[in-house]
Amino acid sequence: MSPKQLTFTDELRQAIRRSGKSQYRISKETSISEGQLSRFMHGQVGLSLSAIDRLCRILGLSITVRKSPKRKGR
């Protein structure tokens, strides 16, 4: 059995935890409210693309979008 593949959201949460920065500091650096960030970390809400972009910038991450191969029969 292969290990479960993490979702993008799970990977982003892990990067936040590994950063060593407090949620307060991340909130201030990204202008994402502490409440919104906390709810995101607990899986209660998602984030806008703008918020994700700001998080990636302060965490030193980049996002690569790949085109999925076309499915047969469509």
Cα distance between residue 16 and residue 1, in whole Å: 28
Cα distance between residue 4 and residue 20, in whole Å: 25
Predicted TM-score of the model (pTM) = 0.75
Going from N- to C-terminal start, the domains of the chain cover 8-59
**Tens digits of residue pLDDT in 31-51:** 999 999 999 999 999 999 999
> Would you state the pLDDT for residue 71?
73
Contacts 24+ apart (CB under 8 A), 21-30: 21/58, 26/55, 26/58, 29/54, 29/58, 30/54, 30/55, 30/58
